[in-house]
Homo-oligomer: A and B are copies of this chain.
Amino acid sequence: MTSGACARASQACDEALVRAFQILGKRWSGVILGTLANGTLGFAELRRQVIGISDSVLAERLVELHTAGLVERDVRPGPPVSVTYQLSGGGAALVPALHALSAWALGNLPSAQ
Which A residues are closer than 8 A to B by beta carbons?
Answer: 1-3, 5-7, 10, 12-14, 16-31, 34-35, 38, 49, 51, 68-70, 90, 93-94, 96-109, 111-112
Contact = CB atoms under 8 A, between A and B. Distances in A.
Most chain B CB within 10 A, of A10, A51, A107, A108, is at A108
- What copy number does this chain have within its complex? 2
A3 to B, nearest CB: 4
Contacts of A20: 30, 101-102, 104-105, 109
Say whether chain A's binding surface is mostly helix, strand, loop, or mixed.
helix
A60 B3 CA distance: 30
Contact of A25 (B16, B30, B69, B106): B30
